[in-house]
A and B are shown apart, each in its own frame.
Chain A
Amino acid sequence: MAGKVKDEILYDHNHDGIDRRGFLKCMAWAGTGALCVMSGGVLKSYSLSRLPELSAKDAMGELSFVQISDSHMGFNKPANPDVAGTLKAAVDKINALSAAPEFMLHTGDISHLSKPEEFDTVDQILKGAKPQDVFYVPGEHDVLNDDGKQFLERYGKGSKGGGWYSFDKKGAHFIGLVNVMNLKAGGLGTLGHDQLEWLEDDVKHLKHSTPIVVFAHIPLWSVYPEWGWGTEDSAQALAYLKKFGSVTVLNGHIHQVMQKVEGNVTFHTACSTAFPQPQPGKADSPGPMKVPAEQLKSVLGITDVNYVQGQHALAVVDSTLA
C-alpha cells in the first residue's frame, strides 16, 4: 500500500515523498510503514524508505516509547503455531532500536483465552525487553469468562473502573482506555458512561498545548463497523480532546497498520506480534490470515513512537519483525 501511495503522489509540498491528500487517505498495510512527525498539530510524514535521510532530531525525541499489540499467547493454529517465538522476535526488535524506548504500551489481547499461564508467558518474555515498564489495556481476549477480574488483578493497579487510567511523561499526557467490556449484541466496542465522565474530568485541567496520547484496544475510529472494527461512543471521547493541538490515538485489534488523520487527531493501529488479519472486507471474516511461513514475520511488527518536547511532535514508526 505504501508503494501504491507513493505512486499516486500529486503534491509533495513537504518534500517528504508522500502526497498530503494521498497520505490522509493512506492505510499503511502491514509490512510497510510511515514515520509521522506532528508539529503544533500539523502533521509531517515520511515514508519508511526515507528514514535514512532524516536527521536524528527529526526521527528521535526526548521521549521514546514502543507499542506492541495482540500477542494472543496461547494461539496455536496454522496462521502462527509459535506466537511465543514471534513475541520474542518483537522483543529483539525493541532491544535493537537506536533510541532506547523508556517504556512499552501493550494495546491488548495479551492472551488468547485469558488463561493464567498465557499471561505468565507474556510477562516472562517481556522481562527480556530493555524497557521494563509496560502499560496495558485489555483486549476482548483478556477478559473472557471473568469480566476482566484477572486482568485487573495483574495489570490494573491504580486504575479506575474497568481498568482505565492516565499518566504523564515529560509533558505528554497518556490515557489508557478500555473499550472491550459489556459489549452489546450487534454493537461495536464501548467505552461507557462512567469512563467518558472520568475522561472529561481527567483532561479538564490540562493546557491545550499538552500533547495527548490515547491508547485502547479496539480502534477509536470507524475502520470497518461490519466486522466490529470501531467503538460506539468514541465520538464523545474525541469531543473531550478537541481543544488539544496534538492528539495521537494508538489502537490494536485489527492486526494490521492503518492510519488516519482527522483535524488535530492522528489515529494509528499497530500490527500484531502473533498473526495477521485480512484487509477490511477482503475476506469472508476477520479471522486469522495464513501466509506462507517465510512471509509471516513481514506481516507482524512493533510500533515505535517518539515525542519531541517543546515541538509537540510525535513520530510514529512501524517496523515489521522480518
Chain B
Amino acid sequence: MALVTYIPRMFPLVILSDLELTAFWRRFLYYIPPAALSALIFPGILGATDSSIIAVIGGIVAAIMAYLKFNLLTIVLSAIAAVFLFQYLI
C-alpha cells in the first residue's frame, strides 16, 4: 500500500515534469475524490449498524455537522453519539 500511494506521487515529480495532461484527464482526476467517497459511503453505510435506518440517521447527522463546518473529529463523534442514542431509544 505504501508503494501504491508513493509511486504516483514520486513518479511525476522525478520523471514527468514536462508532462501536460489533457483537459479530459485533468477533469477525470478532479472528479475522482467525490466519486470515490460516494462509492465508499453508499450503500455501505446501510450495513453499518444493526439497523439501516439508524445508520442513515448517523450519516445525516454527520452531513449536517460537516455542512456546519465542524472539524472532522467533532463530526465523527456526533455521528457516534447519534447512533448510540438511537440504539437505546428504539
Chain A complexes with chain B: no
Query: B-side interface residues toward A, CB under 8 Å?
Result: none
